[in-house]
Amino acid sequence: MGNPRELAERLLDRAGVTIGGDRPWDVHVHDERVWDRVIRDRELGLGEAYMDGWWDSPEVDQFLVRLLLADVKSQIKMGPELLKIVASSMLTNRQDKKHAAANASAHYDIGNDLYERMLDKRMIYSCGYWRHAVDLDAAQEAKLDLICKKLWLEPGMTVLDIGCGWGGLAAFAAERYQVEVTGVSPAIEQVRLARERTAGLDVDIRQADYRDLTGTFDRIVSVGMFEHVGAKNHRTFFRTCDRLLADDGLMLHHTIGSNSSKNHFDAWFDRHIFPGGMLPSVARMARAAEPMFTIEDLHSFGPDYDTTLQHWYANIESAWPDLPAYDERFRRMWRYYLKASMAGFRVRNTQLWQMVFSRTMCESDVYQAVR
């Protein structure tokens, strides 16, 4: 492989990045061990070295954009740690019921105070819709209303919200559209706060795994949840929806997606942010849904996530002094998470889709898409 620093310098030069330069995307090294670590562990090493303060960049998102555009990752072989993560994803079901609750708790139960300070007033932890919005609150309300309109909600309908977060969509739908919402999440602290925030509304928040639900619902929705389902469970997910959805029902899934059908997640994100996470592809979702469901609408607005993430980043940066429970390594981890996510959406390496499904064997009105 040669000298790690020399290889890294060649790759950075190809990406248009200067070590010690003065441009926003240039990199500044504080610990020379970074070269061995990054060449050995690739994206995992790069992210962990940033967490440990071994390198910085004035604008980490711009730095990572240039690495993505130059496809630097593909030019470094996988080391043992990466191979172990990939093998685990391929050989085991890391999103089965045994692991799902632990995966969710590892991210969503780290502190409601963190999310309250970072997110909008409704605590919506997913991409906003910025078509006409000028601030984060408006973008999230626009997204929630878009979902409700796409589902053709009418007063009195029953709605199942799989992965209901802190209850923002459930409260919005119950208030604005007079529907009865059942929300489910396996994360204990998330459920506790969601119950508080939806108190007095026609909303039932349950701590449960989606696979254990019973009953029939007029509409099913999931927002930012399908990324946690895992390829090995895609078919089970849609079979569960088939069992729970009314004969003439509609469902919508709002999810981050991948351009290709992968069997593993980014190693750094897997270890530090979303354990067991796996971005679906359109192809995999379509295969898992057939022949039970018809895709009525596919709406892609991934660039809106870049804007959403920038607002989250600004919010949390201003809030750190009031959040002393989170140490400096955690803060750097969180910064890297938000900045790396911005970069992925900015270069269209990751996508954001809303997919509307109806039953295949059902006589119903012609679906009219909403934007």
Cα(280)–Cα(262) distance, integer angstroms: 8
Which residue(s) pair with 29 in the sheet? 55
pLDDT of residue 141: 98
Q: Please tell me the predicted confidence (pLDDT) of residue 2.
A: 65
Q: Where are the domains of the chain?
A: 4-77, 97-359
Phi then psi for 163, rounded to 5 degrees? 75, 60
Report whether 120 contacts 335 (CB < 8 A).
no
Residue 366: which residues within 8 A CB-CB, separation 6 or more?
Answer: none
Q: What residues have CB less than 8 Å from 298, skipping those under 6 apart?
A: 282, 353, 354, 355, 356
Give me the sign of the Cα torsion angle 207, 213, 214, 215. positive
CB-side exposure of 77: number of CA atoms within 13 Å? 5
Helix residue ranges per DSSP H, 161-221: 168-177, 188-197
pLDDT given for residue 172 in this prediction: 98
Residue 362: its pLDDT value, please? 67
Inter-axis angle of helices 234-244 and 282-289, nearest 10? 50
351 closest CA partner among 233, 260, 264 = 260
Buried/exposed 301-335: b ≥16 CB within 10 Å, e otherwise = bbebbbbbbebbbeebeeebeebeebeeebebbbb
| Tokens (6 digits) for 319 | 């809030």
Give Cα 334 to chain centroid, integer Å. Answer: 14
pTM: 0.96
Does residue 122 contact residue 140 with C-beta atoms inside 8 Å? Answer: yes
Q: Which residues of the chain have pLDDT under 70?
A: 1-2, 361-364
Which are the contacts of 256, defined by CB distance < 8 A and separation ≥ 6? 127, 224, 227, 279, 305, 350, 351, 352
Give the residue from 340, 234, 339, 338 showing the smallest Cα distance to 281. 234
- If you ran DSSP here, which 8-state letter would residue 93 be given? -
CATH fold of 97-359: Rossmann fold (3.40.50)
Contact criterion met (CB below 8 Å) for 226 and 253: yes
